[in-house]
Structure 1
């Protein structure tokens, strides 16, 4: 696909040859080193393509092999080629021979000029992520703000740490910015989460992700004072075991959050390291023997940076059943994996470049403890160079999903678009990735170009095992960004129907708002059911149920079908069938789309639009109302 962001008019994309690395095009999704893998290319019958070649680069040297026609339909020609998995990451692309010259088909799309190998498709021979991850729907919980258990010991006279500022769950507002922000203590605990699992069940999630549960000097707990125990304020070790039992009894998964880049300055390791030059903990950090100064996360002195050049640090994190990463994966807790905080900075400091070996070390420790363990990295910008390296099995896809979706659906206060209720001031909403100028509103072409740019630099496997999210405890709430329930429904529709693992931040399903990460860490309003946005909650429940019911939404490929500035249309296709998805941010003219794989009619599966039928010329017309989100089953 050439740059669709440059075209202001609507245009169909179904005339383009296609391959995406999904099971429709690569039936063997977990090849071993040395295997020969069959790959397919779909070419429209009207295309001028005469021959197809697959180009690989075994051991770094280009090699071409001719593809052959595997089958024909009324509308398409399927070409078949073979790729030997010579290297742990084997790259390939297709050369399309046409009368007007050759074109390349890479993960970035079809182009008529030479492009670097970085956008080639990838086959990865490293051990795959656990199978359960493809069916996961993740729910992120910030423990202090989710729920307080019915028998919580914290009361008016309970003794709190000296850092904690006691807050009333129902009355004290969250301070979005200020020195008191990380110390506001509402008293949510792990048993409170256990008591509210029915809410998660009704919502349709099946994987619980907890932000850190270790003792700390803040309510966010990314400044751990120990990795050896659960914070007593959350109920201690026994409460985590009870939560794990309850989660696993439902057939769900439970993930923890580990800080591999830093600890808190109150961590027992750092206390020993900073008070004794001869302590074995000294090598765990970047401490200056002369000045006593130390490296910290972005200069925040409460978060001293870990030195992964230390053999002792690697041992403490990964070796033996009591190692930091391992002990919580074992009974009685049995976590199913970890989200790794600040994975992008882990092992990086000046000339120190340990990130990739640390990622592989941590993955080996997780999988060595439990073969079905998951390791997902936090990464706030370009994650593509850190995946497909036998380390992180996926990432939090802020740049390839969150940011483009925000920019497309952002409430428009300019008077030229879809300003909605709650949209006031969103033009000044800061970009959580740190980009100056706040969140810019962009059209669908720019959104797809952004998504494709990041997707093209990783394997299909890494892409679909990454978490797609509309926000988290570190960002504004999606409701604040889009400004309306209708806009949020479109956003959730994309979350539920695009490839990747959906991740939902607790409270988004109720329509809660927040302008930044701290402001978004809102206590769940269990005491105010009347404040819940029932329509938004219903949309979440229906769309997540649709994802669970339709295998194409979990295992299918992605083929863009149509774009105009306010409209996205795409197909999710698998050997089981195909779904057509329409997302509109505002109303527009109906879309006339030829070339869809439709036989007879296509029933609507979400959104309430009419059944689709092709006219005598094989053209399907999609409705022009909006904002709207619609899904049809084509076959």
Structure 2
């Protein structure tokens, strides 16, 4: 056993209940915050530092208990702004240190990673209760009713077991016939997996299998079963205690949308002012049929961009009596919230930036219709400027979770392409993964971190199994997903080992015939068992659902971290490959207690000198210590 330096002798604070009084404060409230200072850190005193009215303020923290191993300090943060930042100053021999969301620093640091308290209400509790499950309707399950439906001209019929096209026109036109009744017939699978939220990609009719090019927002696609099918699915989902979220495109419609058709037919129509018309720019569409130049999403002519500078767009999408975002929250549909497609681009072009205004308005309308409704954004890169807590409840956490997890778990010399980058996914050490995760988590309030949609893949990415290459590493990745702060999100099929080298190629159908026989080449029963056990584990542990995060060890090939609530401490050990192992402090274990193995095969042994973690790998170990 080789002992590696652990991180548990560093002072620590996060926004969880262990350190911050729970609840949403009001302006002017003093909120007690606590900081853990191990005796080995050398800190002689602790101060709280805030910035009020543009000026830094320092206040000495008061002792707040401790034991032979650590001291606790507390101070009161006066919430003087809707988002109030703070960090800690540590007096140590030979200088001083700052403690912020990225860790401890022996230099000056900007305020970007300071801790944050916010007066904005957090995401509804159900959003983080358990697994969120993404379904691409055309590929999940096909009911018998699909056989009788007349296909539109754009659809190219495919057999259920056909391999999806990974590029070219066929990628958007292959039609497998999955529908909403088919999803309803397979809810037992979701329930057994521990799904708490079913998230559907768009259900509005379009000219593609993905339906992000809506032709109307006034009806559910007849190919999916129409309005009645969505209502029936919603009732069935809610009857099982689950929630149902839809997918809306606030940035654009399809060029076949009825609004766009009227805009083209009559330049004096209200619909004409709802779109962005422009003569120049890389996103401008110039057509040969006499249509005036207009802005398309990334220049795609099929996706004309909505103009949020006009009242009519606001009225039809958000504020009107029968606005799109409100209508489907009501019966008979009863959606519990929305995921917003390309939320980062909505209302943004050049000097125009109304994205936050849209987010706040959509959230306000959701809450007015459904007080516990949820709003999640799609944003592939740094979303921190949009996540102060008053707009999107959470974001699809590609930058702060997906990308760093991929880069740690991908094999060397992988050829699987990076998401939106012109190179394959690179293999990096755990230090790079952890630094990235800490930086992105530190840039938003803890209540946002605790609700972020963490994913190992989506309908826009390669499949996890194709990325990591083995069942063992899928298990390591899934363990990270289910034990990290935030909401675990799984794309339908990942739990049974689906493969695919990019988003389109990964939109495979579910092999229900193989499931009925106990497994097969496209239904990995062993991987399904892993996902079910990890999902149940998260549901059984308050620390894994809502605890803080304290990194304990970072080795190139292994990481360990603690998830903690006032009543529970869970140690998670993840290894991508064999490594030397380590020794952690014995006092992590509650007096008189023995480690309880919650999951995995990594060995943990209690000795007189500490907790000995074996260098097994690839491997997972999850242990309850207190």
Count of residue pairs brought into register by the alignment: 608
- C-alpha deviation, 1:484, in angstroms: 0.3
Gaps of 5+ in 2: 280-289
Q: SS at 2:31's partner residue?
A: strand
Please give the alpha-carbon distance, in whole angstroms, between the structure 2 residues aligned to 1:302 and 1:117. Answer: 42
Please give the alpha-carbon distance, in whole angstroms, between the structure 2 residues aligned to 1:533 and 1:27. Answer: 44
Tell me if structure 2 keeps the 8 A contact 1:166–1:186: yes
- Alignment RMSD, CA only? 1.5
Q: SS at 1:543's partner residue?
A: helix
2:314 aligned with 1:314, yes or no? yes
Please give the alpha-carbon distance, in whole angstroms, between the structure 2 residues aligned to 1:459 and 1:288. Answer: 38
Q: Deviations over 1:73-124 (max 9, x none)?
A: 1211010100011110000000011121111001111001111111110001
Please give the alpha-carbon distance, in whole angstroms, between the structure 1 residues aligned to 2:311 and 2:110. Answer: 38
Seen in structure 2, the aligned counterparts of structure 1 residues 555 and 389 have a Cα distance that, compared at 3 Å, is closer
Gaps of 5+ in 1: 1-8, 414-426
2:108 corresponds in structure 1 to 114
2:497 corresponds in structure 1 to 511
Say which is worse superposed, 272-281 or 27-36, in terms of deviation: 27-36
Please give the alpha-carbon distance, in whole angstroms, between the structure 1 residues aligned to 2:397 and 2:278. Answer: 36
1:457 corresponds in structure 2 to 443
Q: SS at 2:504's partner residue?
A: coil
Runs of 4+ in 1 over 6 A off after TM superposition: none
Q: SS at 2:40's partner residue?
A: coil
Seen in structure 2, the aligned counterparts of structure 1 residues 597 and 628 have a Cα distance that, compared at 3 Å, is same
Tell me if structure 2 keeps the 8 A contact 1:603–1:611: no
- Decide which of 188, 197, 205 is 2:195's aligned counterpart: 205
Q: SS at 1:57's partner residue?
A: strand
Tell me if structure 2 keeps the 8 A contact 1:11–1:564: no
2:264 aligned with 1:274, yes or no? yes
2:332 corresponds in structure 1 to 332
1:261 corresponds in structure 2 to 251
2:24 aligned with 1:30, yes or no? yes
2:44 aligned with 1:50, yes or no? yes
Tell me if structure 1 keeps the 8 A contact 2:130–2:194: no
Please give the alpha-carbon distance, in whole angstroms, between the structure 1 residues aligned to 2:451 and 2:54. Answer: 27
- Decide which of 615, 618, 621 is 1:624's aligned counterpart: 615
Please give the alpha-carbon distance, in whole angstroms, between the structure 2 residues aligned to 1:389 and 1:358. Answer: 14
2:472 corresponds in structure 1 to 486
TM-score normalised per structure 2:
0.95
Q: SS at 1:65's partner residue?
A: strand
- C-alpha deviation, 1:331, in angstroms: 1.0
2:591 aligned with 1:601, yes or no? no
1:39 corresponds in structure 2 to 33
Please give the alpha-carbon distance, in whole angstroms, between the structure 2 residues aligned to 1:411 and 1:48. Answer: 40
Q: Deviations over 1:441-470 (max 9, x none)?
A: 000011101111111111111111110000
2:298 aligned with 1:298, yes or no? yes
- C-alpha deviation, 1:412, in angstroms: 2.8
Tell me if structure 1 keeps the 8 A contact 2:121–2:389: no
Please give the alpha-carbon distance, in whole angstroms, between the structure 1 residues aligned to 2:449 and 2:8. Answer: 22
1:104 corresponds in structure 2 to 98
Tell me if structure 2 keeps the 8 A contact 1:601–1:611: no
2:561 aligned with 1:575, yes or no? no
2:423 aligned with 1:429, yes or no? no
- Decide which of 199, 204, 213 is 1:214's aligned counterpart: 204
- C-alpha deviation, 1:56, in angstroms: 1.0
Q: SS at 1:605's partner residue?
A: strand
- Decide which of 183, 186, 189 is 1:196's aligned counterpart: 186
Tell me if structure 2 keeps the 8 A contact 1:23–1:29: no
- Decide which of 543, 547, 553 is 1:552's aligned counterpart: 543
Please give the alpha-carbon distance, in whole angstroms, between the structure 2 residues aligned to 1:29 and 1:624. Answer: 40
Tell me if structure 2 keeps the 8 A contact 1:360–1:389: no
Tell me if structure 1 keeps the 8 A contact 2:402–2:457: yes
- C-alpha deviation, 1:288, in angstroms: 4.5
Please give the alpha-carbon distance, in whole angstroms, between the structure 1 residues aligned to 2:110 and 2:395. Answer: 24
1:284 corresponds in structure 2 to 274
Q: SS at 1:12's partner residue?
A: coil
Please give the alpha-carbon distance, in whole angstroms, between the structure 1 residues aligned to 2:507 and 2:603. Answer: 40
Tell me if structure 1 keeps the 8 A contact 2:234–2:333: yes
